[in-house]
Structure 1
Amino acid sequence: MTTLNAALEVDNCTPTAEHAMGVDAAASVANTLKALAEPLRLRMLSAIATDPRGESCVCDLAELANVSQPTVSHHLKVLKDSGLLASERRGTWVWYRILPSRKNAVTALLESFAPATLLESEEDAEARAEALRTMDARVTRLADELANELTDMSRDLVVAIVRESYAGLVRSAKLTQHMVPLTERFARQRLADLARTRESAVPQVLFVCVANAGRSQLAAALLNKLSAGTVIARSAGSTPAADVHPSVRKLLAEIEAPELADAAFPKPLTDDAVRAADVVITMGCGDVCPIISGVRYEDWAVGDPALASEAGTAAIRDDIATRVQTLLTSLT
């Protein structure tokens, strides 16, 4: 009986090989999974997948981790070679997007395996979507108002800059009632950068750090204070934070008028800001700045206030002040 049962079990055995994934398909899937088996690549992929523009610039991805530009390029190349991404060079930057044929797969992957604590609730998602719709209408009105005001510039250009400025800020900044005023300030700054010529009598300096929430904010405030209008200082971040670091905002209030300190906000790095500058000072993210002919570049190894104690933050401010004074002397 035992022998008969054993024979029946063999006869009824399911031919597993016939139902298995084909060799070529398995090799393709394995190659994709291998490409994704690295935390930074997954973060890059999720950043591209959730970008409201539908694509991300390499400058947006470079500061997801403290690695060199060649390392960033290597990881992006692995994702591209695996068939997940497509790329396109525009001017000084390369833009990446998920291939249309892979969007559903990438979305399913990220949503299925992302930690539950990081997933937005349905109620939160609906509230944010409604806030974005309301904000979008206000940004459209702002674009029309600025286009009517700045009649010496192309209307299409003004509208495009306003929309791009809003998109750049909404990706990182908190979605608040102040978003439209911040968009207006950022757009006006960018439009002024576009209109500026290199022959301008007033030198312009751009300070760039990762989050634009500490070092670059302090440097710009100090240079504007010390130069008394003889130099224009601005700041930006390769991966801007949602807000200026509290300890830095306190120092800003000591350097400039309190209302100016309260109005400070992180801004994304743009090509037009780099082109408008006579000097670009990087503070920990030199790899992500586009190289523009005629622009002088320096890199300052300065501590990060976000990681420092109160005394350490004050020491960083003093270090920056010394460097700013030397820079000011060279410019004036």
Structure 2
Amino acid sequence: MTDTAVISNTEACAPSATHAIGTEAATTVAGALKALADPLRLRMLSAIAIDPRGESCVCDLAELAEVSQPTVSHHLKVLKETGMLLSERRGTWVYYRIAPGKQRAVAALLDAFAPAAAAMDEPEDTAARAEALQQMDTRVTRLAEELADELTGLNRDLVVAIVRESYAGLVRSAKLTAHMIPLTERFARQRLADLTRDRVTAVPQVLFVCVQNAGRSQLAAAIVNQLAGGKVIARSAGSTPAADVHPHLRSLLTEIEGEQLAGDAFPKPLTDDAVRAADVVVTMGCGDVCPIIPGVRYEDWAVGDPALASPEGVAAIRDDIEGRVRELLATLTD
């Protein structure tokens, strides 16, 4: 290789290097990740983040593991040194809360990175996926034409566009299976119903939004539909949908909805149409991703993620969500 070739290749690679995270920022982030690289500290941070009081007492955090009080205090001190926690002593006990400037970072860690890191990804056959995508495109085109022929009251081009957008939104995260076309049809019909829904005369509708739409938002929607008896309709969506509903949550949904409905549950991407059609939008750990639509009521529920919880934790999260749902339904059905 000539010197000229070396220089040419170096110049070609230079932009990637200059766009990398800066040294100072990398040092700060690495320090925070190092401090968090302990299972008990992560559990403490999670417990503080989802505490409905907005803070946790050190006495509550001590119950997370069978360790001494000095050990708990040490872990909390390490977390505090990262700048993620603030503390305040009241009498005998010290209370901890997430620092205001770190709330988005903590939410991203617990609600997006942690579930994705804990998931077991199957190896992907790239060639097979490419071939499946080509075949699927033909089937999506046929589905769009069939729905446009059926829904004559809607603009044909709009129906076709919604079908293709729905498929594109699902295929980004979903595994390609024989069920992709039925899922696309269900999602497209839902979106078209959103476009034509009259919030003044229709049954109240609640939209639950979390990051992956694979856990708590699915659970909350199922509980609403179970308790409301048709007087309120619930839906769910995710800002970054997962490939599938978390396996251990599927059994919980089966208890609530029955085997058929639970088996049909799948993560769906968040759309402006879904937000616009809702009377109430409840966010669950996804921050400020929802567009603000006039006339829509917004709530934020700090609840744990069942995907990362123990069986006892999942039961507690279900009870917490059910209590909140009952309060919400009381405001919508009175």
TMscore range, shorter length: 0.5 to 0.7
Give me the whole-angstrom Cα distance separating, in 2, the residues matched to 1:209 and 1:34. Answer: 34
Letter in 1 for 2:291: P
Judged with a 3 Å threshold, the aligned counterparts in structure 2 of structure 1 residues 209 and 191 are, in CA distance, closer, same or farther, namely: same
Q: Cα offset for 1:198? A: 2.2
Once the two structures are superposed, residues 59-95 of structure 1 have per-residue CA deviations (whole angstroms, 9 ceiling, x without a partner) of xxxxxxx9739x99xxxxxxxxxxxxxxxxxxxxxxx
Q: Cα offset for 1:30? A: 5.7
Once the two structures are superposed, residues 154-206 of structure 1 have per-residue CA deviations (whole angstroms, 9 ceiling, x without a partner) of 00000000000000111101100000000000000000001112213311100
Give me the whole-angstrom Cα distance separating, in 2, the residues matched to 1:198 and 1:140. Answer: 31
Q: In the alignment, what sits opposite 2:44?
A: none
Give me the whole-angstrom Cα distance separating, in 2, the residues matched to 1:139 and 1:29. Answer: 40
Preserved CA contact (<8 Å) 1:68 1:287: no
The yes-or-no answer on 1:34 pairing with 2:18 is yes
Give me the whole-angstrom Cα distance separating, in 1, the residues matched to 2:199 and 2:134. Answer: 39
The yes-or-no answer on 1:280 pairing with 2:247 is no
Give me the whole-angstrom Cα distance separating, in 2, the residues matched to 1:181 and 1:314. Answer: 32
Q: In the alignment, what sits opposite 1:196?
A: 197
Once the two structures are superposed, residues 120-172 of structure 1 have per-residue CA deviations (whole angstroms, 9 ceiling, x without a partner) of 88xx3221111111111111111011000000000000000000000011110
Deviation >2 Å, runs of 4+: 18-22, 28-41, 66-69
Specify the SS of the correspondent of 2:281. strand
Q: TM-score if structure 1 supplies the norm length?
A: 0.66
Q: Cα offset for 1:320? A: 0.3
Q: In the alignment, what sits opposite 2:271?
A: 270
Judged with a 3 Å threshold, the aligned counterparts in structure 2 of structure 1 residues 306 and 38 are, in CA distance, closer, same or farther, namely: farther
Give me the whole-angstrom Cα distance separating, in 2, the residues matched to 1:20 and 1:263. Answer: 56
Q: Cα offset for 1:256? A: 1.0
Letter in 2 for 1:130: E
Q: Cα offset for 1:291? A: 1.0
Q: Which residues in structure 2 correspond to 1:100-249 (within 5 Å)? A: 124-249=125-250
Judged with a 3 Å threshold, the aligned counterparts in structure 2 of structure 1 residues 207 and 20 are, in CA distance, closer, same or farther, namely: same
Specify the SS of the correspondent of 2:19. helix
Once the two structures are superposed, residues 269-326 of structure 1 have per-residue CA deviations (whole angstroms, 9 ceiling, x without a partner) of 0110001001100000022111111111100000001110111111101100000000
Letter in 1 for 2:307: A
Judged with a 3 Å threshold, the aligned counterparts in structure 2 of structure 1 residues 38 and 149 are, in CA distance, closer, same or farther, namely: farther
Preserved CA contact (<8 Å) 1:247 1:310: no
Q: Which runs of 5+ in 1 are unaligned?
A: 1-15, 42-65, 73-117
Give me the whole-angstrom Cα distance separating, in 2, the residues matched to 1:201 and 1:147. Answer: 24
Judged with a 3 Å threshold, the aligned counterparts in structure 2 of structure 1 residues 36 and 259 are, in CA distance, closer, same or farther, namely: same
Give me the whole-angstrom Cα distance separating, in 2, the residues matched to 1:251 and 1:144. Answer: 37
Letter in 1 for 2:299: E
Judged with a 3 Å threshold, the aligned counterparts in structure 2 of structure 1 residues 21 and 202 are, in CA distance, closer, same or farther, namely: same
Once the two structures are superposed, residues 4-55 of structure 1 have per-residue CA deviations (whole angstroms, 9 ceiling, x without a partner) of xxxxxxxxxxxx9x99969xx97x97675232237999xxxxxxxxxxxxxx
Q: Report which of the two structures shows the higher radius of gyration computed on alpha carbons.
A: 1
Preserved CA contact (<8 Å) 1:247 1:313: no
Percentage of identical aligned residues: 70
Q: TM-score if structure 2 supplies the norm length?
A: 0.66
Give the alignment's Cα RMSD to 1 decimal.
2.9
Letter in 2 for 1:196: R
